[in-house]
Structures are given as structure tokens and as C-alpha cells.
Amino acid sequence: MKSWYQGVAAAALLSGLGTAAAAEGYTIGISNTVQGNGWREEMVCAMKAEALASGLVDSLNIAHRNTDAAGQLEDIRNLIQAGVDAIVVNPANADGINAAIKEATDAGIVVVAVDQAVTEPSAYILSNNQEEYAYVGAKWLFETMGGTGAVVYMRGAAGAGADNDRDVGFKRALAEYPNITVAQEVFTGWQQDQGKQQILDILASGIPIQGVWTSGIDNVIVDAFVESEAPLVPIVGADNAGFVGQLASVEGLVGAAVTNPGSVGGAGVALALQILQGQMPQAQTVLVTPALWANNSDEGKALIAAGQNPNLDPEWPVSVSIPGWTTYTMDQIIACKGPGE
């Protein structure tokens, strides 16, 4: 199978290997601002699993709740007060938590931002390439539509760094196809129920649409088309288990999954542990390159078939590990247990 993570290996080469003695007994802080979303839940489980598999972590201090940048500032400051050795954070936005990150790094705490970037220069970043994620999916969609028609643009959470980056990628593709228009733009908040109701309302309105681009809220969008008996149109989503299954099984569905591994959370823990042991990365930022799995090509069909995993929650990405970074097993990430649990 083609790697999902081209470009990671080179950036992951570390300098100073073997110069620092391995230390044990670390406490890792985790800060996440979205609950009830399968991608984020897998991300947290990957963090727990990697901490356990490493054998280097005594405990995790997890702040995992629905909040904004102000709430996350409070959470990170609480982690600093708790005396953690490193903080792995999925930031609410690129700038809003910089003050707390700087306080952490000034205190000697390693900070790794995963999934989304921050602009505080003392933080390390290990992120999916969100702009490219949107661009490759939108380009495939517009080409599949024949370069003309109206799309529903289903975004993530307003103000989130990943959503802002994806908007840049989507609009970059849109600029290449002047005969494609946006029939309606909505923010799903990356919530399944919200996204499904939004597409049901759009379908009930009778607005003509020829395609749907989703920011990872995808299997429920297909469900809405099927349940409302609306004619299927090409749909782009992420490599979530439920959507990948639909790409192989729903009759008449033409679609594509763009890889966006939640396991980047586990990779962030691995990077934090490497830095704590004196193994410094060559680059401050590592980007994970997405791949496209389309069910209207032989190559895409093979990738979709290989990606089927009935053991996963439908909302979990099937890319549960990142070669060269994560070391846990499939059983460990599904168990979602960290050290001491």
C-alpha cells in the first residue's frame, strides 16, 4: 500500500542520537478542546497508547473538554502548575494560546502542537497538512463533476486553525475551476448530528447541488442522502472507518477519502519524548502529507479495500498508526488506556 505519510521520514531524522541517557517516569500533559468527535477521540486514544507503549511515561494529565482558546489557556496553565514534563496540545486556534505556550516553554516544559499549528516559535508542530488535505479532495471533486456545477461546502469549526488552512486549500482549488460555484457553506463544528441536520435541511430545500465537500463529517452525510432518497452526488470525506466502508458498499456512491490520521496525537507524544531525551528534531515543524482514495479508480479501490477495519468506531480514521513515529499495537489504541489505567 502507498504510504499515507510521505515526507514525514526525512523530517523525522533526529540529531544527537545516543548522546542523551534515556529518562523514565515522565508526566505528559494533554490539552484538547473538542469532545464528541470520533477523530479527536482517536487522537486522545493514540496519545494514551503511545505513552503506554513507550515505557517512559508514568502518568498522563488530560484536559479533554469542549472549550475555546480562553478555556484552553486556563487548561494549559493548570498543566504548568501541575508540573508536567511536556504538553501535547491540539490548539483551539493558531494564536489564541501562545501566551500559555510561552509560559510553559519558559518553565522548561516541552510543547508539541498536533493536528493544527500555533504561531508561538518555542513550540514544536507535528501536523497533518490541512491546506493540502482540502486542496486534493476539492480538486478531485471538481474534476469528477466535470468542472461545472454547485457544491455544498461543509466546513469544520469556525476559527479553528485547521479549518482556516482547509479554507485556503479549498479556495485554491475553486480558483482553478471557474465554473464551480458554492451552493451553500456551513460550519459543522465537526459534530456528526449537526452536519447531518445541515445536509438534510439543504436537501429538503431543493437547492440544486452536484457535489459535497466535507471536513471529515462524512458517513452521516451519505446516510442523509440514502435516508431522504435524494440522488447521490460525488462526496469527499476523510479516511474515517464508516465513510471508507461506504465507499466500498453503498451502491451508486462516487466518493473519495482524504487521509487525515488522528494518530498524529500519538506521534506528538513520541516527538515530545524524543525531545525530553535530548533527541532534537531537525525541523521545528513536521507535516504529514495526505493521500486521496477515490472509489472511481483502480488504485483508489485497492486502497479503500485495504483500509477496511470493522473493529474501529465508524468515526475513527482507519490510519491508526504513523510508521516511524507510533509504536503501539492495534489492540492498545482500541483499548484507549494510558499508563496506570
Where along the chain do its domains lie?
8-128+261-289+314-335, 130-258
pLDDT at 297 exceeding the cut of 50: yes
For residue 37, the model assigns a pLDDT of 87
Question: What mean pLDDT is reported for the chain?
Answer: 91
Mean pLDDT for the stretch of residues 242-266 = 96
The set of cell numbers assigned to 232 is: 447521490
Share of the chain above pLDDT 90, in %: 83
Are 271 and 13 spatial neighbours (Cβ–Cβ below 8 Å)? no
pTM, two decimal places: 0.82
Are 273 and 26 spatial neighbours (Cβ–Cβ below 8 Å)? yes
Q: What's domain 130-258's architecture?
A: 3-Layer(aba) Sandwich (3.40)
For residue 282, the model assigns a pLDDT of 87
Q: Which CATH superfamily is domain 8-128+261-289+314-335 in?
A: Response regulator (3.40.50.2300)
DSSP string for 127-189: EE-HHHHHHHHHHHHHHHTTT-EEEEEEE--TT-HHHHHHHHHHHHHHHT-TTEEEEEEEE-T
The set of cell numbers assigned to 32 is: 484538547
Share of the chain above pLDDT 70, in %: 93
Q: Considering only CA atoms, which of 114, 120, 116 is closest in space to residue 268?
A: 114
For the segment 225-237, what is each residue's pLDDT rounded down to a tens digit?
999 999 999 999 9
* DSSP type of residue 239: -
Are 94 and 119 spatial neighbours (Cβ–Cβ below 8 Å)? yes
What's at 52, amino acid-wise?
L
The set of cell numbers assigned to 198 is: 445541515
Are 209 and 148 spatial neighbours (Cβ–Cβ below 8 Å)? no
Are 262 and 317 spatial neighbours (Cβ–Cβ below 8 Å)? yes
- Binned at pLDDT 50, 70 and 90, residue 24 comes out as low
3-state helix, strand, coil in the chain (%, to 5): 40, 20, 40
For residue 323, the model assigns a pLDDT of 86
By CB neighbour count within 10 A (0-12 exposed, 13-18 middle, 19+ buried), where does 26 fall?
Answer: buried
CA distance 268 to 115: 9
Phi, psi of 225 (to 5 degrees): -60, -45
- Tell me the CA distances in angstroms from 133 to 188, 260, 300, one per residue in order: 17, 7, 16
The set of cell numbers assigned to 332 is: 492498545
Phi, psi of 99 (to 5 degrees): -60, -45
CA distance 270 to 276: 10
pLDDT at 105 exceeding the cut of 80: yes
The set of cell numbers assigned to 253 is: 456512491
Establish whether domains 8-128+261-289+314-335 and 130-258 are of one fold: yes
Provide the strand spans (E) within 7-123: 14-15, 26-32, 57-64, 86-89, 110-114
DSSP H helical ranges for 186-293: 192-205, 219-228, 241-249, 264-276
First to last CA, the chain: 34
Mean pLDDT for the stretch of residues 289-306 = 95
For residue 22, the model assigns a pLDDT of 41
CA distance 205 to 198: 11
